[in-house]
Amino acid sequence: MNALPKIDMMEATRLTREGRLEEAMAVLRGALPGSAAAASAFDVEGAAPQTAKPKPALLDMIPPLPGTGGAWTPPPTSGVQPASGFGATDHSQMPEALRGFLDKMAQAGPSGGLKGLTGLNGLNGLVGPAVSRPAAPLPDGARFEERTYVNEAGSRSYKLYIPSGYTGQALPLVVMLHGCTQSPDDFAAGTQMNELAEEQMFLVAYPAQTQAANMSKCWNWFSASDQQRDRGEPSLIAGITRQIMRDFPVEAGRVFIAGLSAGGAAAAIMGATYPDLYTAVGVHSGLACGAASDMPSAFAAMKQGGSPGGGGSRRSGGFVPTIVFHGDRDTTVNPINGDQVIAQAKAAADLRTTISRGEAPGGMGYTRTLQADASGRPMLEHWVLHGAGHAWSGGSAAGSYTEPRGPDASREMMRFFLEQLVTATALS
């Protein structure tokens, strides 16, 4: 390794391990000929800048190292904060010495490199990730079947919960899109949606993202090619929905979709691209359709909100009703994204707004903003969870990324879904 004169490698290493990547970059740049970046970032060598820039929030996924051509990878469970600016920085403009340093830090592994910088303690208030547990026993007569759907875009497996009370009658259908690093079983355990389906009688489908499509098993909500009707992942999720509607009697006008985090962003995309298929949408800790179109814009959207396309999720005669849950302490996806989901769904609709505040049995406070049409039917609901981080509100610790203290998002989503009186038959 060639020596780099006047570079305080120990300080750069310390800053990098603490997730202060921009400051580490400034230390390294300061020793490079003609560089003015360090001088403008620090008053004295190695000192913190006068105005520290806030760290961008990272979704539960991290990008490939520059120049590797790799895929997004799941975060380790170390206790170190995410690297500031990592993924949003234009690595092509980095000095060669800096790129080499970051590569060597990454190769050092969890004890000394970037791989140890993306821990989960920024996900305030969550319970998880959960350890692997045996699946909970099913009620007598209930089924939780694994199935597969294939089309031109590829294939995805999914699990379908069929409640014990099913005897061939038409039932509502809820499609649940998990977050990064999760699985159908984990998501079902955390949201307890199967237990609710058993109680209220509906089908629940859990499409499974593959590591081949995304190393962290994230739905690729930030990819422009996965934000279009009848293409990419939207075609697969819609295909799974329609396959279930062919195989089971699904109640007309009672097909819903919801998701968490990357799954919440994907659910928003599905509502926008298939308003004729889904009667209502639930977005938990997610982003609006079109908030990002690539990785740099994804990091920007997660940090400060995106630039979603206008128009909302329209169907003939109206738009797709939407319910949003978002923690106001979410350091992974900025809560402003919840506002943007609602704004995109509302578009130019004329709705009456009511605001109420309350406290869940677990002690978490919330503000609920309800927007209803002229008949009083709730069309938009926005739950802001006070003190909650990036986790499913009211979920069970049996699954990952849950906040048991909050209001029961699963039950409130189903209440909102079933209040919708749309009678138009979804496409078959």
pLDDT in tens, 211-225: 999 999 999 999 999
Q: pLDDT-based confidence at 136, cuts 50/70/90?
A: confident
Q: What is the mean pLDDT of residues 187-193?
A: 98
How high is the pLDDT of residue 348?
Answer: 76
How high is the pLDDT of residue 349?
Answer: 83
Largest distance between two CA atoms of the chain: 76
Q: Is a pLDDT exceeding 50 seen at residue 357?
A: yes
Q: What percent of the chain has pLDDT over 90?
A: 61
> How many helices (H) does the chain have, and how many strands (E)?
11, 14
Which runs of consecutive H residues, i.e. helices, occur in 141-192? 184-191
3-state class of 284 per DSSP?
Answer: strand
CA angle 30, 32, 34 (to 5 degrees): 95
Q: What is the mean pLDDT of residues 56-69?
A: 43
- Give, to the nearest 10 degrees, the angle between helix 193-200 and helix 409-419: 40
Q: Is a pLDDT exceeding 60 seen at residue 73?
A: no
Top mean pLDDT of 4-8, 135-139, 203-207, 307-311 is at 203-207
How high is the pLDDT of residue 277?
Answer: 97
How high is the pLDDT of residue 274?
Answer: 97
Token reading at 231? 């293409």
Give the CA radius of gyration of the chain. Answer: 23
- Domains of the chain by range and CATH? 9-116 (no CATH), 143-419 (3.40.50.1820)
Tens digits of residue pLDDT in 376-428:
889 999 999 999 999 999 999 999 999 999 999 999 999 999 999 653 333 33
Those residues whose C-beta lies under 8 Å from the C-beta of residue 108, and which sit 6 or more positions away, are 115
How high is the pLDDT of residue 135?
Answer: 74
**Half-sphere exposure at residue 180, Cβ-oriented, CA atoms within 13 angstroms:** 28
- 165 neighbors 139 (Cβ within 8 angstroms): no
What is the full DSSP assignment across 328-388? TT-SSS-THHHHHHHHHHHTT---EEEEEEEE-TTS-EEEEEEEE-TT--EEEEEEEETT-
What pTM was estimated for this model as a whole? Answer: 0.72
Round to whole Å and give the CA distance between 351 and 121: 39
What residue ranges in 299-350 does DSSP mark as E strands? 314-315, 318-319, 322-327
Round to whole Å and give the CA distance between 313 and 66: 36
Q: Is a pLDDT exceeding 50 seen at residue 353?
A: yes
Token reading at 343? 């704004």
Q: pLDDT-based confidence at 61, cuts 50/70/90?
A: very low
DSSP 131: P
Tens digits of residue pLDDT in 251-283:
999 999 999 999 999 999 999 999 999 999 999
Round to whole Å and give the CA distance between 377 and 373: 6
Q: Is a pLDDT exceeding 80 seen at residue 118?
A: no
Q: Is a pLDDT exceeding 90 seen at residue 296?
A: yes
Q: Is a pLDDT exceeding 70 seen at residue 339?
A: yes
How high is the pLDDT of residue 242?
Answer: 98
Mean pLDDT over each residue of the chain, to the nearest integer: 77
Q: Is a pLDDT exceeding 80 seen at residue 304?
A: yes
Q: Is a pLDDT exceeding 60 seen at residue 246?
A: yes
Q: List b or e across 257-284, with b for residues whose CB sees 16 or more CB atoms inside 10 angstroms.
A: bbbbbbbbbbbbbbbbbbbebbbbbbbb
Which H or E run contains 100?
helix 96-107
Q: What is the mean pLDDT of residues 133-153?
A: 91
